[in-house]
Amino acid sequence: MGERLRAKLNSVLVNPVMVKGISFDVWGTIFGDSFFDEIDKHYSEETGMPKEEADQKTNLAYRELRKRRKLGAIPREENPVDYSLRLLEAYGFNIQKFKKAMAKALITVDVEKLLIPGVRDVVRQLSSQFTLVVLGNVVYWPGAYTRVLMERAGISAFLSSQLYSDEIGTAKPSRDAFELALREMGLQDPAQAVHVGDNLYEDFGGAVGADFHAVLVNRKASGELYVDGNFVITDIRELPRVIRAIDSGNSPQPPAA
């Protein structure tokens, strides 16, 4: 048995799990897709490109970005926003006008529609017991834009820190990103931390690889799944119950009927 695994098992035996911190992904977990829609609407107005075409091309470039990130093809020294915008430019976008569209969307998007249903109450409830941080990868806009949206949505008041890949120089699923989140939570033991996100590779896999507990929010899943201290849930509103199950080390109770 490796020393690292032995130490982890000894720690679990001596110290029962006590969750103290929770990190959250942003896009797809706290916020939905309406910001993308708002950007594409403004870009269409700026350029005359049909909104449906703008939607399709931004999604194609986004999928390509995630594929390259998964393959480790993005150099660490690259600014992730600049890299994603270059991908978008390859699909025929005028980047200066796209930046203008993003700035407009930051002002005009309806943050109540942007929020995933129930997430503000969940974050408020959990903040009374746990240290909460955000750990998010960026795409076309910088983390500073997301900070503005978090403030407008009334989420930032419940967070001790917000960490975005263009600011911290690393991105999920890198272990470095999760270790930085752990430090921002004031913790040393990753078994005391839970990461919540909607991406199987970047969030769930990254968290498990960093020895965090992981909760994947998959709205298309057929039901809840519990695996060795990690969960798949279909609704963010189930998160407080799941955190209690992880914290107690007991078998999870089914959702209330």
The backbone region for 229, taken as left when phi is positive above 0, alpha when psi lies in -120 to 50, beta otherwise, is: left
Least Cα distance to 192 among 176, 210, 206, 177 occurs for: 210
pTM: 0.89
Domain with residues 34-111, CATH architecture? Orthogonal Bundle (1.10)
Q: Residue 228: is it exposed, middle or buried by C-beta count within 10 angstroms (0-12/13-18/19+)?
A: exposed
Q: Where in the chain is the domain with CATH 3.40.50.1000?
A: 14-32+115-248
Could you list the pLDDT tens digit for every one of the 257 residues in the chain? Answer: 455 444 444 444 444 568 999 999 999 999 999 999 999 999 999 999 999 999 999 999 999 998 888 888 888 888 999 999 999 999 999 999 999 999 999 999 999 999 999 999 999 999 999 999 999 999 999 999 999 999 999 999 999 999 999 999 999 999 999 999 999 999 999 999 999 999 999 999 999 999 999 999 999 988 899 888 899 999 999 999 999 999 887 655 656 55
Domain 14-32+115-248 indexed as CATH 3.40.449.10: no
Boundaries of CATH 1.10.150 in the chain?
34-111
For residue 138, the one-letter residue type is V
CA distance 2 to 70: 28
